[in-house]
Amino acid sequence: MLHGEVERDRWLTRDEADRLLLVCPEHLGALVRFALASGCRAREITALEWNRVDLERRTAWLNQTKNGTPRGVPLNHDAVTVLREQVGKHPRFCFTYRGKPIRWELSNSAWQTALEKAEISDFRFHDLRHTWASWHRQAGTSCDELKELGGWKSRSMVDRYAKYATEHLVYDLATVGNRKGLARKLTL
């Protein structure tokens, strides 16, 4: 983090993601779906070339990553589906807009309009990576596995990106008491 930067704890719920995808134009929806399925950064997605994708082996190879370390990205069913939908749109790049590679920032007017329509605030495209990591963590993916999947060099980066939903922290005190044989009514 840069000096003075505040750590963000922003990721989408499944409902928010569904709302966002419903209002995205086709090209932006493909980018969002791929980000949620792969955890890739915006520039990794827009720079992805067909010669670095193997749909049969369900893998993409990123040669230009933020931390400078090339990495393989396993492609789940959703990521493969998105890529198959892009086949034939461009001979070199996987993701395009009107037949041309995407060379602009993904925080443009289409992104902002989609967020407004979906009633989502305080959210950046990069937060889709936080969402992907958080969903993995909430589903039980280990920190070591997530570190490798996301291409992070340290456990602290995983902790910064992957957040648990608060639901796992909420429990019924009466149920806990019953399990311990301390059945008593709790009153507040």
Answer yes or no: 130 catalytic: no
Answer yes or no: 77 catalytic: no
User: Three-state SS string across 5-74, please?
Assistant: CCCCCCCCCHHHHHHHHHHCCHHHHHHHHHHHHHCCCHHHHHCCEHHHEECCCCEEEECCCCCCCCEEEE
- Active-site entry in 11, 111, 135, 152: 152
Answer yes or no: 129 catalytic: yes
Q: How many CA atoms lie within 13 A of 84 on its CB side?
A: 10
- Active-site entry in 66, 84, 100, 155: 66
Answer yes or no: 126 catalytic: yes
- Active-site entry in 33, 129, 136, 137: 129
- Active-site entry in 8, 126, 160, 163: 126
- Active-site entry in 11, 97, 111, 161: 161
- Active-site entry in 41, 136, 137, 147: 41
Answer yes or no: 8 catalytic: no
Contacts (Cβ under 8 Å, ≥6 apart) of 15 = none
Answer yes or no: 14 catalytic: no
Residues marked active site are found at 41, 66, 126, 129, 152, 161
